[in-house]
Amino acid sequence: MHMEFTEDMQEILDEFIQEAEEIIENLDQELIELENNPTDTELLNQIFRGMHTLKGGAGFLGLESIINLAHVIESIFDKLRNGEMQLDSNKMDIILEGIDIIKNSIETLKSSNEIPDMEDIADIMTKLNDLLEGKEVETATMQENVTEVPQSDAPEANDQVPAADNTDDKESEEYEIIFHEDVDPAIQNLIRRYPDKNITEILDELILLPPEERDMDLIMKLDELIAQNKDVDDLIKEKRKKETASAPEPAPAQEPTSKPAVAEQKPTPKKEAPKPAPKKKKEESETIRIDIDRVSTLMNLVGELVLDRNRIVKLTSRFQGNCDDIEAIEELNEAIAGMSRSVSDLQEVVMKLRMQPVKRIFSKFPRIVRDLAKKVGKKINLELEGEDTEIDRSILNQLEDPLIHLVRNSIDHGIEPPEERIAKDKPEAGTIVLSALQEGDRIIVSIEDDGRGIDAEKVKKKAIERGLITPEQAEQMSDKEAYELIFLPGFSTVDKVSDLSGRGVGMDVVANVIHSLRGAIEIDSEPGEGTKITMKLPLTVAIIRTLMVGVGDRIFAIPLFSVVEIIKYRPEDIKDVGTYKSLMLRDEVYLFFHLNELFDMEGGHENKFVIIINIGEKNIAVAVDDLYGEEEIVIKPLGEMLKDVEGIAGATITGDGKVVLILDIKSLINDKRNDLIGVI
């Protein structure tokens, strides 16, 4: 069904889609948590509120299929939270299927303004309604009430005054409702018409009316009350039992005589008094949604400002030696110092705009693990740690696919079947821990399982069979070095291919993605105990600190996070070991390269310094001619034509206007990788 929206409604639609995506993003994790702990009332209420919000937004836009799906799922959760239904795995399967259809509907609505027709969702609606009605067999009376409510709504909506009068006649036999003076008369009529319902339930009644019968102004007023945490009791000043039929007439005159009744109900006004405070707090913590392109543009402008600051600082240092006006130089330095602080603060704030918690992708994994574990007949508990850790959005977006592949590997190859685990005296259910934490300017993301681990000897044997390494290299390799063979293209240790993993593709892609983000990936494993895969990633991809080095008349930038140590170059420490040279340093042996040799450049001056650089599991030594110190730089991409150049991560412009290439040492030695297996 194609939906047409006016320009004004399109803006509301965009807001709805963003809110719906956030709700659904959290739902997968919340539903799996609920399946593990079905009596968690707070979680049930949270999911119920999410579905209610989704239904309300869809109702405002007239998205009938989404309204109906959200309503029946919301009704199921209403039964669950009221203890009228018990949750089990099969019920959750049906609920998740319904959520998936809502998710797909939101995606098609976003991309093409299309939503499913009612006949398209007939099957899942039947399943969900059967689920709802199946549990109502024990409480048939309540089920009758539920099904009758929508049928009785329409005539009341068409003829509101008589409906309200009828209700008032019924209520007049029991009590009179006196509202606070600021309560909208239309809201008063609704409350009188639905005396046994709260604000949320009254809103449901309006949303479920046909589009032409919905009073959108009333719906918005009710939404505003819900946002203010107000319910029916907060709007009612007093409910008084009627002793005579004429009691309603003199209500204002009898108010003084009812003072004791008001005094007895002081808890109600007290409850009302603090209401404005939470509302204020909500307004203070309110957020706005900004298009990511605008943030990226702002980040680029701040990057240019950082470059301008660096240039001004360099120019000032030149003036200091040529200017006799010491006082002017001091004032200039003070002004530059103040500007530098402001630019740094601005840079930090703008960088934080791009930061998002890893929960945005972590929240998808409880559902993934649940479905895959069920598919392969394993019992697996997923633990999430450090979900609030923040990382640059562009890194987070690229991290999702590698994480999914690693989790699938843990489920398929790592965690043993229940009977095998029991035979090994392990708990029947395996555990996968997905965690994130910040260490300095790096984010550490790891996936750990308590499964069968990796057999290093089996890895070496497979690598020899595939011609990836020689038997001599295998003998020299440690277990940790053997694990790195898993990241070679086409490598796989499984004898039988499954539909989850094991086709020899994926792990090399995972490593390539992490390396493209200037990160590192490593494996630790203990046969029979489990495996841990750790990824170390930069906080942001836009601005980094680097070490400026020189070779001949060229200047290069090396990311500072990969620099381990800098030492003086001494020819006597360099030894020939096989094909390559090695550096001997404090009883350690490091593979040694001249930077100019890696680029096939002619050597300039005599090497003066050696930089120990970390490239994953190992450190290597690289000789350079000159050191120019640390500098904060803005990374500029090389563009489509040069993006695949080995050894170059990007470029930057220094304070004196020069274009400097940023080195990626790991990719620089990629062409030598096979020869270096067992060496680094």
CA nearest neighbour of 613 among 552, 651, 556:
556
Marked catalytic residue, from 35, 74, 481, 484: 74
pLDDT digit string, tens, across residues 231-244 = 888 888 777 665 54
Q: Report the chain's mean pLDDT, rounded to a whole number.
A: 76
Contact 539, 438 (CB under 8 A): yes
The label of the residue with tokens 């972590």 reads: 362
Residue 523 shares a structural domain with residue 432: yes
Tally of structural domains, the chain:
5
Report the percent of the chain where pLDDT is more than 70. Answer: 79
List the beta bridge partners of residue 523: 533
Residue 534 scores a pLDDT above 70: yes
Residue 72 shares a structural domain with residue 178: no
- Please state the φ and ψ torsions of residue 660, each to the nearest 5 degrees: -120, 135
- Host H or E run for residue 252: helix 251-254
Report the percent of the chain where pLDDT is more than 90. Answer: 9
Q: What confidence tier does 604 reach under pLDDT thresholds 50, 70, 90?
A: low
Tell me the C-alpha to C-alpha distance, in Å, between residue 6 and each of 10, 106, 140.
Answer: 6, 18, 44
List the beta bridge partners of residue 550: 555, 626
Residue 223 shares a structural domain with residue 178: yes
pTM above 0.75, yes or no: no
Residue 455 shares a structural domain with residue 531: yes
Residue 495, burial from CB neighbour count under 10 angstroms (0-12, 13-18, 19+): exposed
As a whole number of angstroms, the distance between CA 202 and CA 217 comes to 14
Active site residue 74: yes
3-class SS of residue 55:
helix
Residue 201 shares a structural domain with residue 261: yes
Marked catalytic residue, from 30, 35, 52, 189: 52
Residue 487 scores a pLDDT above 80: yes
CATH code where residue 478 lies? 3.30.565.10
Using the 3D structure, point to which of 114, 138, 162 is the last residue of a domain.
Answer: 138
The label of the residue with tokens 């390799």 reads: 477
Marked catalytic residue, from 189, 310, 409, 596: 409
Asked, for residue 409, whether it belongs to a domain, the answer is yes
Residue 227 shares a structural domain with residue 123: no
Asked, for residue 146, whether it belongs to a domain, the answer is no
Residue 417, burial from CB neighbour count under 10 angstroms (0-12, 13-18, 19+): middle
- What pLDDT is attached to residue 158? 35
Residue 619 shares a structural domain with residue 556: yes
pLDDT digit string, tens, across residues 23-68 = 888 888 888 888 888 888 888 888 888 888 888 888 878 888 888 8
Asked, for residue 44, whether it belongs to a domain, the answer is yes
Asked, for residue 125, whether it belongs to a domain, the answer is yes
As a whole number of angstroms, the distance between CA 107 and CA 659 comes to 43
610 or 151, higher pLDDT = 610
Residue 102 shares a structural domain with residue 22: yes
Active site residue 605: no
- What pLDDT is attached to residue 146? 33
Task: Quote the tokens at residue 539.
Answer: 């906080």
pLDDT digit string, tens, across residues 324-371 = 677 777 888 888 888 888 887 887 777 777 788 888 888 888 888 988
Using the 3D structure, point to which of 261, 284, 307 is the last residue of a domain.
Answer: 284
Task: Quote the tokens at residue 310.
Answer: 């660096």
Q: What confidence tier does 213 reach under pLDDT thresholds 50, 70, 90?
A: low
CATH code where residue 17 lies? 1.20.120.160
CA nearest neighbour of 609 among 576, 552, 564, 570:
570
Q: What confidence tier does 605 reach under pLDDT thresholds 50, 70, 90?
A: low
> DSSP of 159-203, one letter per residue?
THHHHHHHHHHHHHTTEEEEE-TTS-HHHHHHHHHSTT--HHHHH
Residue 677 scores a pLDDT above 80: no
**Three-state SS across 639-667?**
CCCCCCCCCEEEEEECCCCCEEEEECHHH
3-class SS of residue 393:
helix
- Please state the φ and ψ torsions of residue 467, each to the nearest 5 degrees: 75, 20
**Residue type at position 653:** I
Q: What confidence tier does 384 reach under pLDDT thresholds 50, 70, 90?
A: very high
Residue 316 scores a pLDDT above 70: yes
Mean pLDDT on 136-163:
34
CA nearest neighbour of 584 among 597, 571, 594, 595:
571
- What pLDDT is attached to residue 171? 44
Residue 278 shares a structural domain with residue 404: no
Mean pLDDT on 589-593:
87
Domain containing 297 equals 292-353
3-class SS of residue 669:
coil
pLDDT digit string, tens, across residues 434-452 = 999 988 778 899 999 999 9
- What pLDDT is attached to residue 672? 62
Q: What confidence tier does 281 reach under pLDDT thresholds 50, 70, 90?
A: very low
Asked, for residue 567, whether it belongs to a domain, the answer is yes
Q: Sheet holding 659-663: strands in order across? A: 626-634, 543-551, 554-559, 659-663, 648-653
- What pLDDT is attached to residue 173? 47
As a whole number of angstroms, the distance between CA 80 and CA 42 comes to 12
Residue 361 shares a structural domain with residue 439: yes
Strands 380-385 and 430-439 turn out to be: parallel
Q: What confidence tier does 496 reach under pLDDT thresholds 50, 70, 90?
A: low
Q: What confidence tier does 163 reach under pLDDT thresholds 50, 70, 90?
A: very low
Contact 490, 507 (CB under 8 A): no
Asked, for residue 383, whether it belongs to a domain, the answer is yes
Dihedral angle at the C-alpha atoms of 122, 127, 129, 131, nearest 10 degrees? -170
Active site residue 52: yes
3-class SS of residue 580:
strand
Using the 3D structure, point to which of 302, 329, 353 is the last residue of a domain.
Answer: 353
Task: Quote the tokens at residue 609.
Answer: 């310094």
- What pLDDT is attached to residue 501? 53
Asked, for residue 339, whether it belongs to a domain, the answer is yes
Residue 343 shares a structural domain with residue 418: no
Asked, for residue 425, whether it belongs to a domain, the answer is yes
CA nearest neighbour of 62 among 275, 279, 213, 284:
213
**Exposure class string for 54-71: b at 16+ Cβ within 10 A, else e:** bbbbbbbbbbbbbbbbbb
Residue 478 shares a structural domain with residue 608: no
